[in-house]
Amino acid sequence: MSKTMLAAVLYGAKDIRLQQYAQPELCPGMVLLRVRRAGICGSDMHYFQHGYCASFVPTRPFILGHELTADVAAVAEDVKEPRVGTRVTANPARACGLCEYCKSGRGNLCRKTIMLGSASTTPPTDGAFAHYVAVRADQCHALPPEIDDGMGAMMEPFAVALHAVKRVGSVSGKRVLVIGGGPIGLLVLLTARAFGATPVALSDLVPGRRKAALSLGADAVLDPAVSTLPQEVREMAGDGFDAIFEASGAPPALRQAFNLVRPGGAIIQIGTLGTDDIPLPANLVMNREIQFIGSFRYGNVFGDAIRLAASGRVNLQPLISRVLPLPQAAEAMAQASAKDNSIKVQIQIQ
C-alpha cells in the first residue's frame, strides 16, 4: 500500500479540499521534497476561480502549486546531488533535456516540458500544496542561509521577471515602463532598477497596485485610463520608453504599449493573453522598427536569481503579503484572488 500525505486538492472551481492523498513515488533520477512553503501564482488562481487555466482542463482532481521551498527528504539510488536534508527551491518546469531547444540552452521552449501543479499534461501533474512533491534532481537549486523560506518560494516568479529583463539585453540607463502591477510586474520593476534602468515607471488601473509600486521604488506610476497619459509619458520619456514590459495579460494594455514605446524600442510580452488571436498594429512595428519580444518562463536564471536575492540587491521580502497554513488553503486562494492590497500570498505547508 502506498504512503499518503496531507494535501490541498483541487476538484473544480472554488473547490479545494484538504485530504489524505497518495505520496509521490520515487522514480530513478528523482528526489522527494518535503515542502516547507509554497506561493500562490496567477495560474493557480485561474484554476481555483474557473476550474481550468486557458486551454488546460484537468481530467481529474489534482494538487496545485509550483513556487516552493522544501527540504530534500529522499533521493533515488542513482542521484548523487542534492543530498538528503538540503534546503532547496525548484524549477517547476521539467524539460526533456534531449531536444534541440534543451541542448541549445533554451529548455523553457521544450515542447515536452512537464510542469508542477498543471493540467498541461494528461493526467495533470501534482504540485506543491502538499507535504511532499517529487521532482527531477536537476530541477533543485540549493538555498543559502540568507534566503528564508518565504524568499525561497519567491524564486520562481523572480526567475520569470529576471528572464524577461535579460531578454532585452542591457537595460542600464534605459527608460522602462512596466504594465501591470501584479507580482510579476512588481518583480520586473525591482529587477530593472537593480540592473540600472532609469526612470522605471509602472502602469496599472488599480490604485493599490500603483501605491505598492511607489513603495518598492518606482520613479513614477501611471493610470492607463486617464486622458493625460500621453502628456505624462512625453514629460517623463520624450518620444516614449526604450523598453516596455507587458505583464498584465490584458489586450488593451498591450495595444497601448505600441503607442508608448519610442521608435526603435522594445515591447516584451510576459503576460498570458489567453487563446484568442488579437490584432496588433503591424505598420507601427514596421515604420518605428519596434521590437516585439516574447518571454516565457525562466531560461537558465535560477542560479542568478538566488545570488541576486541572497546579496540583497533585489529585496523580495516586501512582496510577501500573507502566509496561511495548509489547512486554510482554500482561504489562501480566495485571498490571493481578491483585488485588494495583497501582492503574494503563500501557504505554510509544514
Q: What is the pLDDT of residues 97-118, one digit of tens each?
A: 999 999 999 999 999 999 999 9
Within 200-250, where are the H helices?
207-215, 229-237
How much is the pLDDT for 201? 98
How much is the pLDDT for 154? 98
Shortest CA distance to 16 belongs to which of 53, 62, 60? 62
DSSP secondary structure letter of residue 190: H
Can you tell me which residue has the cell 527608460?
Answer: 175
How much is the pLDDT for 274? 76
Shortest CA distance to 245 belongs to which of 287, 195, 315, 207? 195
Shortest CA distance to 191 belongs to which of 210, 163, 149? 163
CA pair distance 261, 274, nearest whole angstrom: 23
Q: What is the mean pLDDT of the chain?
A: 96
Shortest CA distance to 177 belongs to which of 161, 194, 189? 189
List of domains in the chain: 4-154+316-348 (3.90.180.10), 159-294 (3.40.50.720)
Q: CB burial class (10 A; 0-12, 13-18, 19+) of residue 265?
A: buried
C-alpha cell at 349: 505547508
Shortest CA distance to 62 belongs to which of 48, 42, 73? 48
Dihedrals phi, psi of 336, to nearest 5 degrees: -65, -30
CA pair distance 138, 30, nearest whole angstrom: 9
DSSP letter for each residue of 89-134: EE--EE--S-SHHHHTT-GGG-TT-EETTBSSSSSPBP-SSBSEEE
Q: How far is CA 225 from the centre of its chain?
A: 26
CA pair distance 58, 124, nearest whole angstrom: 6
Average pLDDT (253-260) is 97
Give the global pTM.
0.96
* pLDDT, tens digit, 9 for 90 and up, residues 261-279: 999 999 999 999 877 889 9
Encode 100-123: b = buried (16+ Cβ within 10 Å), e = exposed.
ebbeeeebbbbeebbbbbbbbeee
Can you tell me which residue has the cell 524564486?
Answer: 155
How much is the pLDDT for 9? 98
Residues in CB range of 36: below 8 A, 6 or more apart: 68, 69, 70, 71, 87, 149, 152, 348, 349, 350
Q: CB burial class (10 A; 0-12, 13-18, 19+) of residue 74?
A: middle
Average pLDDT (18-32) is 97
| pLDDT classification of 2: cutoffs 50, 70, 90 | confident
Q: Is the dihedral of CA 162, 166, 167, 173 positive or negative?
A: positive
